Amino acid sequence: MSRSAHPAGPRHADVLTEGHYTAPPADLNVLDEKVWARTVSRNDDGAVTVGGIEVTRLAEEFGTPAYFLDESDFRARCRAWADAFGPGADVFYAGKAFLSRAVVRWLKEEGLNLDVCSGGELTTALDAGMPAERIAFHGNNKTAAEIERAVQAGVGRIVLDSFQEIVRVSHIAQRLGKRQRVQIRVTVGVEAHTHEFIATAHEDQKFGIALAGGQAAEAVRRALTLDGLELIGIHSHIGSQIFDMAGFEVSARRVVQLLAEVRDEHGVELPEIDLGGGLGIAYTSDDDPREPHEIAKALGDIVTRECEAAGLATPRISVEPGRAIVGPTAFTLYEVGTIKHLEGLRTYVSVDGGMSDNIRTALYDAEYSVALVSRRSDAEPMLVRVVGKHCESGDIVVKDAFLPSDLAPGDLIAVPATGAYCRSMASNYNHALRPPVVAVRDGEARVILRRETEEDLLRLDVG
C-alpha cells in the first residue's frame, strides 16, 4: 500500500488497486442514505426529491448544473456536532469547505463558531452578522491588511502559523491598542489518512511550527513575552477525510506534552487546545464515517487521559469540521448530454458541468457516486465514466460508476456528497459559469449563491 501523503486521504490517492470496482449494486434505484442528504428520497413516480421537491422541478426552475443543499440536514449536522461536544467545548465550522452568507446565518442560529482563512471569508462572515468573537482566523500567510482587519473586528482568535506572524500580530495589535487572543498552530508529526496515519519526527510542510526540535516551545515562549498577545492555546490539524481516531490520539498526546512543558517552564497552564478538522464522510457506499458523538467521546477521552497523566487540568477543546458538516448535505445535478460507447473500452457519459464545478476527481483522484434521478429505471446496469464538457481529457466527475443502460440524453443524474470543496473550489475554466447553490427546505427552494452569467465574465474583463 502506498503511504503517499494526500490532502484528501488514501481513497483519493494511489492505495486502491486497479479493478477494485466490484459488482453493481442490486438495485440502481436505491439511494444509499450514507451518501445522500437526509431529506433525499425517490418518490412513487420514480423521481428523486429533496426537501420534498422533485429534482425535475428544480432543474426546470434553476437549470443545470446546480448544487442543491439540504438546509435542514445542514442545520441538523450543526446541532449534532454542537450537542456532541457540549457547552464545555467549541465547534468551529471550517468555512473553506463552503461559505456563503446564508450558511453563516445558519451557523450563527445553530450555535456554531466559524473558522475563516482569508480576507474574503472574513468579510463574508462579518457581513452576514457572525459575531467577531465567534470567528477564528487561520492561514499560513495572512497579509498585514488581513491581520489588521481581523484584530480591528475583534475576532475571537488568530491562529499563529509562523515565528514571523507572532511578531506581526503582536505589532499590529499593539498599534491598534488591543490585546489579541491567539493560538499557535503546531505540526505534531502526524500525517493522517482515511484508515491509517503515520507518525514522523519532522514535518515537511508549509503550515504551523514544528513540535520537533523545541520550535513550538520557543514559539510559545515568544508569544508569552510579546505585548499585544493573549496566548490561549495550541492548535493542530492533521489531515483530511480521516476515519481512524488513532492519528488524533498521537496528535493530542503530543500537544498535551507541550502544554506540560509550558507549565513546567513558564508556570502557565494554557486553557485551550484545538484539534482541527479532517473528519471523513461517505463519498461511496464503501466509506463508514463516524458520528459526531463518537468523535467527541473519542477526542474527549484522549485529552482527559493525557492531561491526567501529565497532571494538567483538562483544557477546553475545540474542533473544526468542514467537510463532515456540509459535505453530505448537497448534491450536484447535471443533465446528460452525449453518451459514447467505446466498444471494448468504456462508456463515457458527458454532463453539462465537469471539472469546473468539481475539481476533486481530477485533483485528488477522489471517488464519487452517481445516480439517475429524474426517473426510475430497471434496465441492466452499465459501467460508465461520467465526464464534463471541458477541453481536457482529465475532466472526470465520476471515474467508475454504474448507471442504467437505458440512460439517454436529457436524463438528470446527480452526484451526492458534493457540499464540501466543490463550489468552494469551482473555477471558470473554459469560461464556464459557476453553478448556483440552491438551498432546499420543507418544500421551498431558494438560491443562496446565484449562477454566474456571461455578463459577470465580461464585467471582470475590462478590455
Residues with a known catalytic role: 391
Of residues 251 and 350, the one with the C-beta less far from ligand LLP: 251
- Angle of CA points 367, 82, 285, to nearest 5°: 20
State yes or no: residue 156 binds ligand LLP (CB under 6 A): no
Residues 6+ away with beta carbon under 8 Å from 433:
451, 452, 453, 454, 456, 457
DSSP letters along 250-301, please? HHHHHHHHHHHHHHHHHS----EEE----B---SSTT--PPPHHHHHHHHHH
Q: Is 320 labelled a binding residue?
A: yes
Cell of 100: 456563503
Residues 359-378 that bind ligand LLP (CB under 6 A): 360, 364
Select the residue interacting with ligand LLP from 156, 189, 276, 328 (CB under 6 A): 276
State yes or no: residue 323 binds ligand LLP (CB under 6 A): yes
DSSP state of 239: B
Select the residue interacting with ligand LLP from 247, 277, 300, 328 (CB under 6 A): 277
The site map against ligand LLP for 324-343 (x = CB under 6 A) is x-------------------
Of residues 168 and 423, the one with the C-beta less far from ligand LLP: 423
Residues 6+ away with beta carbon under 8 Å from 202:
189, 210, 212, 213
Select the residue interacting with ligand LLP from 35, 37, 58, 94 (CB under 6 A): 94
* Minimum distance of ligand LLP from residue 6's CB (angstroms): 9
Q: Are 247 and 253 in contact (CB under 8 A)?
A: no
- Burial class for 109, CB neighbours closer than 10 Å (0-12, 13-18, 19+): exposed
Q: Is 9 labelled a binding residue?
A: no
Of residues 286 and 456, the one with the C-beta less far from ligand LLP: 286
Write out the E strands in 121-228: 135-137, 157-160, 180-187, 190-192, 197-199, 209-210
Instruction: Give the binding range for ligand LLP (CB under 6 A) out of 34-42, 245-253, 316-324, 427-435.
Output: 316-324
* Minimum distance of ligand LLP from residue 191's CB (angstroms): 14
Residues 6+ away with beta carbon under 8 Å from 204:
none
Residues 380-439 that bind ligand LLP (CB under 6 A): 420-421
Binding residues for substrate, by number, are: 323, 360, 364, 392, 421
Contact residues toward ligand LLP (CB under 6 A) are: 7-8, 94, 96-97, 115, 138, 237, 240, 276-279, 320-324, 360, 364, 420-421
